[in-house]
Amino acid sequence: MSMLNPPFNHFQAIALSDTIDIPKVAPERYPDGVYVGATGNITFLNTTGTSVLMKAAIAGTILPISPKRVMATGTTATDLVACYRI
């Protein structure tokens, strides 16, 4: 296993919101990835605040994205989990 890409070691369910950011964890960082529990679209804000739509994210995958917020509007994927490397 490469230390450049260590395993995820902290997980948190994502609450969809159009106004509230995902809570940061020590050391004050957003997720390193998002696990998709059920297939669907994911609309999120990246760390610069740009809105991004990822269509047909497949259940059982971990997307290598670092969202600041996962929007309720436009997100149809469910059971999303924030994955962190801390």
Residue 40 lies inside a defined structural domain of this protein = yes
**pTM, whole model, 2 decimals?**
0.91
Residue 58 lies inside a defined structural domain of this protein = yes
Residue 7 lies inside a defined structural domain of this protein = no
Domain count, the chain: 1
Residue 46 lies inside a defined structural domain of this protein = yes
3-state secondary structure of 73: coil
pLDDT for residue 27:
77
Q: Environment class of residue 4 by beta-carbon count within 10 Å: exposed (0-12), middle (13-18) or buried (19+)?
A: exposed
Residue 19 lies inside a defined structural domain of this protein = no
* pLDDT tens digits, 15-74: 999 999 999 997 789 999 999 999 999 999 999 999 999 999 999 999 999 999 999 999
Residue 22 lies inside a defined structural domain of this protein = no
Strands 69-70 and 33-35: unpaired
Residue 9 lies inside a defined structural domain of this protein = no
Res 3 pLDDT > 80: no
Q: Which domain holds residue 80?
A: 29-84
